[in-house]
Structure 1
């Protein structure tokens, strides 16, 4: 048994005190550690639940193209306080998507207990509306077929957690029902659906929305000038949906994040990175697995060439910076920021009973952040797996 001392972010309050850890789990949160318990004193540093990233295409010099890259992502993620992640594949062939799932399962076994948990996979595409494809290569998009979806469910198995697609496409409702019936989160993204269609999607089982405000059509006006509610507005007020936002302040402005946080409330907002290979590295030229180039400069990744030249390619965000941006730039209470970066993602993955918050009985998955929100230590089930030196 030992205790970590600092500014602790619990589900309900901020406590200057100690997290007592026993057998890899949070034993208690208290103002002062019990006598004879070893205390690791982090002074004025923050102790927050380890972050869970539902949407990442790469981090540092690693991307999810093979088992080695996936393991590298897991080790790199703990440097930023992330204790769980979903490697995300986009613009892939059927075999590549399947291999992502198979390789993630194998990498998860190899890094177990020593790096961030590879909690499953998130498939972004291939069933994407070409009108709102964003940075995704159109050559790899395909019409929705349940036969292809069945391949992923069967061959990836329990590692398949989220599938993002454009449900307004033909067979979209059927795909929502199919995924939901197999325990997979049906997620809307890259969509130009009408707001009125959303209710049918939700009724069929749609549960999640990726990178809200990005790769969505804006609302419009009709004569005599009345602003009409579009897809984004319908999403915001649909209580059944959780919503990802890329909190790098480049994809979504701080003021919009503030509005979204107020409308979505404490339980529907999920902060993600949507990060790319190169996140956390120096500025320079990088490339997607398919070879398409992008440039990272001053914390922003932009496409080079083609129809979307100069457009955002993804982010170079890390989860500790997402937490910092929420608190420092978007006036989000740290308690809610912890929910957005850990508790709510855990709930989507149905692991909130085990992790995602600092509460008695939960796994002691913890990140320690200094005053500048740099991660100085990461604990995975009570074990120190990263320490900044």
Structure 2
């Protein structure tokens, strides 16, 4: 079935190789077919949406670290939970994501992996964000740096077990958070690199030397930089020092101003640049729901004043939305919209090896498109050409 063409016109378009002021972008059958300064003619085959010239048209954002939203969590291990997450993310400009697990007893992890794999295999539903794969966060992590991950369920890295889990997940595990200093980790990391799966240092007490050893084995990513890891010390650079020093490591940042102070976010951006930072939300099920009591891996989480914590005060993920992280990042660092696109779209797409179809606005790529107003609020989101969100219109 041939679908109607859609043309968005008049706004500034941030294309892969050019920025077009008062341009037009046209999609059909889920793909971008044209970016132009010249408008497509108005005809019966084209729906034309005229936008204010102060608006911005940017690529859909990719969240590689998100546990849940709107009361749902990947660990719920149901289609309904993942569908809920996929349905609400376009409100914040996210058009694709990695369903992120957490440390739990093995049977629960296996159930979540199998469910997510089957969900991905079933295919993206119209008007929802696409699940690009799975982020396995734990249980191959450090007990000393567990954060909100349940310590009792942490286990040593085990390649045989990981292979079983990848089979359960129908091959859809795309990123693994692992502590490189733990016995058995280097074997797993080397295998991940061979399989083009991103190996990420996180929830780790590794020394600088242990991080370097992990990099030689194949780590290339750092999970929520500064959080759940050995910090920077002038006599022991730790995970943070290694992450800041080595260009080979791409670093996640939770830009809510709570997990990391704005000044350190600015320092990180100055050191890493726009090509080695990936904005993530690390959001849990309370996102979109407000203050209250929630569950995270069988632990009670209190959300109050935009902060999610366990009973002992440990930060337990975030409730930030991606477009809020974008505004914060621009405020904290003074970066541009083009820089933001690099950190929310280009970098994650390249890391996940999907830049051929996602991560930028170019003819032939998936029509994952976000319209932002002059205040960087989301006005419309298209997922593969389907209108997934329009401000002021109920789903």
Q: 1:13: how far off?
A: 5.1
Count of aligned residue pairs for this structure pair? 379
Partner of 2:66: 56
Cα 1:353–1:267 shift into 2, 3 Å = same
| 1:204 equivalent among 217, 221, 242 | 217
CA RMSD of aligned residues (A): 1.8
1:159-204 deviation per Cα after TM superposition (whole angstroms, max 9, x unaligned): 1111111110111211111222233221110111111222221111
Q: For 2:192 and 2:219, how far apart are their aligned partners in 1?
A: 9
- Mapping of residues 311-350 of structure 1, within 5 Å: 311-350=314-353
Match of 1:225 in 2: none
Pairwise mapping of residues 1-389 of structure 1 onto structure 2 (< 5 A)? 1-5=5-9, 6-12=11-17, 14-16=19-21, 17-36=23-42, 38-43=47-52, 44-64=54-74, 65=76, 66-108=78-120, 109=122, 111-222=124-235, 228-290=236-298, 292-304=299-311, 309-389=312-392
Runs of 4+ in 1 over 6 A off after TM superposition: none
CA distances 1:258-307 after superposition (whole Å, capped 9, x unpaired): 222222223221000000111122211112141x1111112111211xxx
TM-score of the superposed pair, with normalisation by structure 2 = 0.91
| Contact 2:150-2:297 at 8 Å conserved across structures | no
Structure 1: which 5+ residue stretches go unaligned? 223-227
Once residues 8 and 92 of structure 1 are traced to their aligned partners in structure 2, the CA distance between those partners, rounded to angstroms, is 43
- SS state of the match for residue 57, structure 2? strand
User: Contact 1:3–1:40 (CA<8 Å) still a contact in 2?
Assistant: yes
Answer whether contact 2:103 2:138 (CA < 8 A) is retained: yes
Q: CA deviation at 1:216?
A: 1.7
C-alpha separation between the residues in 2 aligned to 1:102 and 1:79?
Answer: 27
Distance in structure 2 (CA, Å) of the matches to 1:352 and 1:97: 29
Residues 218-277 of structure 1, C-alpha deviations (whole Å, 9 max, x = no match): 22245xxxxx53331221222222111111111112222222222222322100000011
Cα deviation 1:84-114 (Å, max 9, x = unaligned): 0111111222222222222123333264333
Q: Distance in 1 between matches of 2:287 and 2:376?
A: 17
Residues 10 and 335 in structure 1, CA contact (< 8 A), matched pair in contact too: no
1:73 positional shift: 0.7
- The answer to whether the 8 Å contact 2:102/2:297 transfers is no
